[in-house]
Amino acid sequence: MLKQVIKLVIAGMVITLSVAVAYAAQTTAPFPNLAPKELVVKRGFSKDATNCIECHAKKTPGIVDDWKSGKMAHATVSCYDCHVVEKTSPMASQCEGLKGTKIFISPMVSSKTCSRCHPQEVDQFLKSGHAKLAGNPVIDNKKFIKLMYYYEGAQFIGVKDDAPQSTASRSAGCQMCHGTQVELGPDNKPIKNTWPGGVGTRYPDGSIGTCTVCHTRHKFSIEEARKPEACASCHLGPDHPDIEIYQESKHGQRYAAHGEDWRWDSAPDAWQPGDYEAPTCAVCHMSGIGELSTTHNINERLKWDLMHQKSVIRSGERGDGEKGDELMRQVCVNCHGTTHTNVQRKTLDDAVDLYNTYWDGATKMQKELAEKNLLLIDDPWNDGFQELMYYLWHHCGRRARQGAAMNGPDYAHWHGFFQVFQVYKDMQKIYEYRIKTGKIEDLSHVMSTGPL
């Protein structure tokens, strides 16, 4: 495949070398390692497992290359072990190589399969918010779906309410992180772009969750899951810029500056300060550190719910916030004195209070406008007040709170509170105008186009 002609110009003199010819003379394949992979694996794998490996080493060499450097391959866990399903499974299908055999597989592997070897991790995960992400908003929240998808590809481009809508934004956007319900065609292959999807994906066999969102297939690397980039594919952007906040923080600064020299492969619970000089997302929210054990329930160490409209201390299915606060402090004290930790936690509490005050004020205005028929209840995206209220919560209000939680001052201030108060005063002016005039302003919706 060496198609390049090599011509050297040395000090003005052109030397044309017959390098390619010389190569061809030495060996039939100039780069032997580029010949179609013929990986032969005889390390006690079953014949069926070996077939998968050897065939896919040719068909999809990248997957097999990835797998062979991972812990699974070293532990003799093969393609077969995770992908094989009962013939009766709703996800059962056969690739070309399996046609005519009794073996059925699925390209889809859910947390249920992982739990066969990692039951505790999957148990913890299923209790976490991560496992519930497909439900809200992608599947269950009808009001939200109407709000979001009605407009996307329906009203605004003249499609009737009952006409089929494009799901393009859903497929390319929301469900990539949230997950969705996988739908299958007659051949048990996924349809409507419902697979692959995010961490909360619901599978046709009733199982929930995709572990490979963080432990990327087919290497399944613990090192990767410990790095902040593992979280960054979803925790970014205008509505929860967690990776941006981390990167701005002193923690992230040290990761960027020194992370390449840290020790990433310590066994779970044995990964401790000294292996790293600053925490990654995993360290604070998941890893064993000091007295704490590793958890895959990412709600466990959280005090506040910083995602929803009004922030309250977590309780019920969202976790135990008081306990969460205590656990998070147990993380902090590994590197910070009590004074420092107290200040940091107090700053977060104060930020939540301030945001909530704004949110309460907005809610009060909203109620009064609703009572006086001064809201476009059925058409909120065309109502400047309601649009701004959405941004107050979902965009700048989250950034203010999460920026304060993780020490990203730009996100707490410029992308956060600075905008919270800009948005709030604009809501206040619209409110005053409506109350005073008794009508909804012309073109108000245009005034809050938001980010372009």
CB of 316 to a second copy, least distance (A): 26
* The token pair that represents 358 in the structure block: 């704004």
Q: Which helix (H) or strand (E) holds 105?
A: strand 104-105
Cβ closest to a second copy, residue 107 vs residue 438 = 107
Rank residues 189 and 315 by Cβ distance to a second copy and give the closer one: 189
Q: What length is written for the chain?
A: 452
The three-class DSSP label of residue 6 is coil
| Contact yes or no for 395/238 (Cβ under 8 A) | yes
- Residue placing its CB nearer to a second copy in the complex, 229 or 322: 229
Pick between residue 302 and residue 440 the one whose CB is nearest to a second copy. Answer: 440
Nearer to a second copy, 24 or 75 (CB): 75
* Distance from C-alpha of 421 to C-alpha of 425, rounded to nearest angstrom: 6
Shortest reach from residue 357's CB to a second copy, in Å = 5
The single residue listed with the structure tokens 């993380």 is 331
Instruction: Output the smallest distance, CB 428 to a second copy, in A.
Output: 6
Q: What are phi and psi of 403, to 5 degrees?
A: -60, -40
| Least separation in angstroms between CB 146 and a second copy | 14
CB of 243 to a second copy, least distance (A): 9
Dihedral pair phi/psi, residue 9, rounded to 5°: -110, 110
Q: How far is the CB of 177 from a second copy (least distance, A)?
A: 6
3-state secondary structure of 286: coil
Residue 312 C-beta: closest distance to a second copy, Å: 17
Which tokens is 203 given?
A: 């599978």
Q: How far is the CB of 203 from a second copy (least distance, A)?
A: 15
CA torsion, ordered 264, 266, 269, 272, to nearest 10 deg: -60
**CA–CA distance, 154 with 146 (Å, rounded to integer):** 10
Provide CB contacts within 8 A for 127, sequence distance 6+: 297, 299
For the CA atoms of the chain, what is the radius of gyration? Answer: 27
Q: Which is nearer to a second copy, 317 or 403 (CB)?
A: 403
Q: How far apart are CA 191 and CA 366, in angstroms?
A: 41
d(CA 325, CA 313): 10
Written as one string, the DSSP assignment of 345-388 is HHHHHHHHHHHHHHHHHHHHHHHHHHHTT-S-TT-GGG-HHHHH
Which residue reads 């409110």 in tokens? 431
Least Å distance between CB 323 and a second copy?
Answer: 18
Report how far residue 75's alpha carbon sits from residue 428's, in angstroms, rounded to the nearest whole number. 62
Burial of 315 (0-12, 13-18, 19+ CB in 10 A): exposed
CB of 268 to a second copy, least distance (A): 6
